[in-house]
Structure 1
Amino acid sequence: MPNPQNETQQWNAQFYDTKHAFVFQYGEDVINLLNPQAGERILDLGAGTGHLAKKIAGYGCEVIGIDNSPEMVAKAQNAYPEIAFFQKSGADFWFAEPFDAVFSNATLHWIHTPEKVIECVYKALKPGGRFVAEFGGKGNVQRILVALAEALRAKGMNTDVHTNYFPSIGEYTPLLERSGFRVTFAAHFDRDTELDDPENGVIDWIQMFRGFALKELSETAKTEVFAQIKESLRSTNFHDGKWFADYKRLRFVAIKE
């Protein structure tokens, strides 16, 4: 089966906004780490539907957003016409005018060529510019992915669902350093994340981020797979009447020397 966990994945921008708003809501904390200053020129790499780009612009910054998904770019541009959004790959972009900072939230784990991303970011920054990001780290959503894989195997399917790039600090920070960055902060931490729907939150997550694994299933088979997943995860990912995703995040600040 083709690997959809790259920048050709199709995104449902409306479903993303209505059922997965936690993605950009948690990103507001990364903006605090960015510490945007009035007058700065900042690139939002993987801008999605544009909400965080808008918040950064509210600090008096000039913000440009890029995303590889045309659906996301269209929704962002419609919502925030005062900000420029472009469809560009995070591993293959270039701007003539450099940036004071590159910001990225919940994007880098979708791109399997981290060296190319880092190279593009380095070239895009002014000397002394900063690269501030958060994305999935080693072990991210491991329980959900194991439960999904087991439920699919029960249907005779051996689909690879572990298809994101989830590195550890020890894997990722050397890539930054070899490219000329000085890493001034890095953290790999647990963050169980509440999902929107108290009944089907974990299923919504799977349909949004692992929908490719379900395409060959009949509706009846999907219902059975979903029931097995919920039963498997109830003791670990469901508490206080809510579903949680077992997130482990990697967050860093790197300075272009």
Structure 2
Amino acid sequence: MSTPSRPWDATGYDASFGFVTAYGAPLLDLLGAAPGERVLDLGCGTGHQAAQLAAAGVRVLGVDGDAAMLDRARREHPGVAFAHADAQDEEALRAAAGPVPYDAVLSNAAMHWMPRQDAVVAGVAAVLRPGGRLVVEMGGVGNVARVTRAIRAARADVGLDPDVASPWTFPTPGEQASRLERHGFLVRMVALVDRTTPLADGVGAAGWAAMFGAGLVDDVPAPDRSAFDSAVDRHARSEGLDVRPDGEPGWWIDYVRLRFHAVRR
């Protein structure tokens, strides 16, 4: 997981938002890493998918830009290799990666935190062998649109600018395909995936915003925080996020994921 405007709460992330790893299972299938292959997990967060790969005999390195995430990853998975680097800095990524090239790069739920997308793709190309695979799932166009509207409305309620810049980058399939091709990749697949995502019991829209909202919530003054959180949940209810699409009560988030598979030429 790359670093937003402040450090991650790695413990809370694992405790309440384990769906991030769970929903990454299709990526591992798409990657199809064989025992002995070298794989770089880009934006590895707390390291659970890297550990799954290592358990399958893959030689994996998890790379992340957030020290708290990496500290937890190393505690939870002491037999897995991890390194700190900003994936948007090609030189730093190459230094963290160690001996290159890699057979594949995997990234789950991380690249939308990286505004310099071209720099990320260039860095990935630099560490992959010809024929190496890049398999990614990230936020795509339309991702978290409802909950973002709720957060912006809540900002207005407490006297803050509702139009503050988004902390995320959500490309279209066409934008990302063009970017990959510019950096020497052959695109095998790129698609948007609607993914209704239930939240854990006791976690509402405000709880999601506190973990993932970064620049949308970090400037809320402490005296206004309770009112802001209540407003986020209230506006999220008006967006229908408190009743799941199957009609069952419960909070959910309107994820739209951009999934792609590309091969370095």
Amino acid at match of 1:21: G
Partners in 2 of 1:200 and 1:64 — Cα distance? Answer: 32
SS in structure 2 of the partner of residue 238 of structure 1:
coil
Give the C-alpha shift of residue 83 in structure 1: 1.0
**What are the within-5 Å matches in structure 2 for residues 185-196 of structure 1?**
185-196=189-200
Structure 2 residue aligned with 1:167: 171
The match for 1:183 among 184, 187, 190 is: 187
Partners in 2 of 1:250 and 1:211 — Cα distance? Answer: 21
Structure 1 residue aligned with 2:259: 251
Contact map agreement 1:133 1:252 (CA 8 A) in 2: yes
Partners in 1 of 2:257 and 2:220 — Cα distance? Answer: 31
**What are the within-5 Å matches in structure 2 for residues 99-114 of structure 1?**
99-114=102-117
Contact map agreement 2:46 2:73 (CA 8 A) in 1: yes
Give the C-alpha shift of residue 211 in structure 1: 4.8
Structure 2 residue aligned with 1:208: 211
Give the C-alpha shift of residue 30 in structure 1: 1.0
More displaced stretch, 137-146 vs 206-215: 206-215
TM-score (norm 2): 0.90
Structure 1 residue aligned with 2:68: 71
Contact map agreement 2:206 2:230 (CA 8 A) in 1: no
Give the C-alpha shift of residue 116 in structure 1: 0.6
Partners in 1 of 2:43 and 2:55 — Cα distance? Answer: 18
Aligned-pair Cα RMSD in Å: 1.6
% identity of equivalent residues: 36
Structure 2 CA distance for partners of 1:81 and 1:6, relative to 1, 3 Å: closer
- What is the aligned length? 251
Structure 1 residue aligned with 2:149: 146
Query: Unpaired segments of 5 or more residues in structure 2?
Result: none
Give the C-alpha shift of residue 161 in structure 1: 5.4
Give the C-alpha shift of residue 80 in structure 1: 1.0
Partners in 2 of 1:148 and 1:43 — Cα distance? Answer: 34
Tell me whether 1:137 sits opposite 2:161 in the alignment: no
Contact map agreement 1:177 1:183 (CA 8 A) in 2: yes
Structure 2 CA distance for partners of 1:211 and 1:6, relative to 1, 3 Å: closer
Structure 2 CA distance for partners of 1:8 and 1:156, relative to 1, 3 Å: closer
Deviations 1:53-101 (A, max 9, x none): 0111122110001000011111111111111101111112103321100
Deviations 1:112-157 (A, max 9, x none): 1011100110110111000000000011111111111111112210
The match for 1:46 among 18, 27, 43 is: 43
Query: Unpaired segments of 5 or more residues in structure 1?
Result: none
Give the C-alpha shift of residue 104 in structure 1: 0.2
